[in-house]
Amino acid sequence: MKILGIETSCDETAAAVVEDSNRILSNIVASQIDIHARYGGIVPEVASRQHLLTIIPVINKAMIEAKATWQDVAGIAVTFGPGLAGSLLVGVNVAKAIALAKQLPLAGINHLEAHIYANWLASLLPSSSNGEGRVRFPCLCLIVSGGHSDLVLMKNHGQFEILGRTRDDAAGEAFDKAARILGLGYPGGPAIEEAAKSGTPCLSLPRAWLSGSHDFSFSGLKTALWHYAQRGEILTTAASIADAAASFQCAVVDVLVTKTIEAARELGVRQILLSGGVAANKLLTERFLNSSPVPVFVPPPHLCTDNAAMVAVCGYYHFRAGTISGHDLDVVSNLGLG
Ligand code: KG4
Ligand code: ZN
């Protein structure tokens, strides 16, 4: 079964063709990073207009690369939330138009669920896990992206229970804000990771443990970094910026790894699945792989950040379960899981 996935929730225009639950036939991502970088963050209207310009060429490219005809495609899966409404509308409308014109079933996909399903694509790749094979339920999912830091118990396909979430900034958002404080550009996660390579985590920065809760909080950490910068204790030399980046990265990773593993032990889950852009961070994945009592799955970096292959594979499980959307599918910018 070949599924066409479409993703336009934020600043990546993406289309992919995936066969069954794991075989990526094509995975095209047109990034808008260069366009938004000059503003230091995403400008919603610019993002939706850019999706309009690129969506059709991106879909055509995905179909050509997959060597797929419309007769080969069994269904269309499209992200309908959460995300920027103007961006989501572009993908959803294009998906509806194709579904109508080609008489194909449509599945509206939750972007957070799609991030989790990147692990199904990845579960057959040798580099993606510590060798324990495919996903087993119940598993604990940590979704860490630009908009979310959610800890989710997944009991089966389509069955999610939110255990915790961020009370303020998402992990990726914290990386982006910290990079701005340090003058490292956008997006902040890769910039901080790169700068941290030549630094040591010697700054004393706070960790919000929020004991007794599975929630996260990163705004205090960001503020502490800002105070260091204000006092002129960093930003003077490349070495001190690198140390600040390493210290910040270490503090975020400490909290994410410790709290997730604590929850995994408490709930007795069989596996941990990481997902979302921040899961592309090497220190985070190394710390998980080295300290988790259960197998940890981590998609390769290009499947952690926004892409449409994860939307297509999630769609595969929706079609298999008979969960099909009507042609009145609307976008839900604050859509949650569970
Ligand atoms: O999942 P994603 O591509 O988009 C959203 O759904 O938000 O995540 C983007 C976020 C950005 O905040 C970016 O700074 C962060 O993921 N990110 C990283 C890394 N690569 C991307 N954070 C830490 N380390 C990375 N290597
Ligand atoms: Zn995302």
CATH number for the domain that contains residue 281? 3.30.420.40
158: left (phi over 0), alpha (psi -120 to 50) or beta: left
The residues, ordered by sequence, that sit 6+ positions from 169 with a Cβ below 8 Å of its Cβ are 177, 217, 218, 219, 222
Ligand in nearest proximity to the CA of 187? 1
Question: CA 233, CA 313: separation in Å to the nearest integer?
Answer: 47
Instruction: For residue 248, report the distance from its CA to the centre of ligand 2, in Å.
Output: 22
Instruction: For residue 74, report the distance from its CA to the centre of ligand 1, in Å.
Output: 31
Total domains in the chain come to 2
Query: Nearest-CA neighbor of 116 among 255, 311, 290?
Result: 311
Question: CA 188, CA 138: separation in Å to the nearest integer?
Answer: 33
DSSP-assigned letter for residue 137:
S
Same domain membership, residue 179 and residue 31: no
Q: What is the pLDDT of residue 221?
A: 97
Pocket of ligand 1 contains residue 277 by CB under 6 Å: yes
Same domain membership, residue 189 and residue 76: no
Same domain membership, residue 269 and residue 254: yes
**Residues pairing with 146 in the sheet:** none
Pocket of ligand 1 contains residue 187 by CB under 6 Å: yes
Task: Report the C-alpha dihedral over residues 236, 241, 242, 246, rounded to 10 degrees.
Answer: 140
Count, residues in the chain: 338
Task: Report the C-alpha dihedral over residues 256, 261, 263, 267, rounded to 10 degrees.
Answer: 150
Pocket of ligand 1 contains residue 190 by CB under 6 Å: yes
Contact 4, 97 (CB under 8 A): no
Contact 12, 31 (CB under 8 A): yes
**Mutational test site, ligand 1, from 31, 145, 253, max ligand atoms within 8 Å of CB:** 145
Q: What is the pLDDT of residue 246?
A: 98
Same domain membership, residue 201 and residue 85: no
Same domain membership, residue 146 and residue 75: no
Ligand in nearest proximity to the CA of 308? 2
Instruction: For residue 276, report the distance from its CA to the centre of ligand 2, in Å.
Output: 6
Query: Nearest-CA neighbor of 297 among 327, 275, 269?
Result: 275
Residue 331 lies in a domain: no
φ, ψ of residue 124 to 5 degrees: the values are -100, 0
Same domain membership, residue 274 and residue 153: yes
Residue 240 sits in which domain range?
132-298
Instruction: For residue 207, report the distance from its CA to the centre of ligand 2, in Å.
Output: 24
Same domain membership, residue 280 and residue 161: yes
Same domain membership, residue 168 and residue 20: no
Question: CA 134, CA 155: separation in Å to the nearest integer?
Answer: 15
Instruction: For residue 171, report the distance from its CA to the centre of ligand 1, in Å.
Output: 8
Instruction: Give me the residues of the chain with pLDDT under 70, please.
Output: 122-133, 233-236, 238-239
Question: CA 245, CA 237: separation in Å to the nearest integer?
Answer: 12
pTM of the shown model: 0.95
Same domain membership, residue 201 and residue 154: yes
Work out the number of other CB atoms within 10 angstroms of the CB of residue 231: 8
Same domain membership, residue 196 and residue 86: no
Pocket of ligand 1 contains residue 199 by CB under 6 Å: no
Instruction: For residue 113, report the distance from its CA to the centre of ligand 1, in Å.
Output: 16
Contact 241, 194 (CB under 8 A): no
The residues, ordered by sequence, that sit 6+ positions from 9 with a Cβ below 8 Å of its Cβ are 79, 81, 82, 83, 84, 87, 88, 91, 111, 306
Same domain membership, residue 288 and residue 147: yes
Pocket of ligand 1 contains residue 19 by CB under 6 Å: no
Residue 337 lies in a domain: no
Question: CA 111, CA 6: separation in Å to the nearest integer?
Answer: 11
How far lies 24's CA from each of 55, 65, 104, 125, in Å? 19, 11, 20, 11
Q: What is the pLDDT of residue 129?
A: 43
The residues, ordered by sequence, that sit 6+ positions from 129 with a Cβ below 8 Å of its Cβ are 122, 123, 295, 296, 297, 298
Same domain membership, residue 97 and residue 8: yes
Question: CA 195, CA 44: separation in Å to the nearest integer?
Answer: 28
Handedness of CA 135, 137, 139, 145 (dihedral sign): positive
**Atom 6 of ligand 1, residue of closest alpha carbon:** 145
Question: CA 93, CA 7: separation in Å to the nearest integer?
Answer: 12
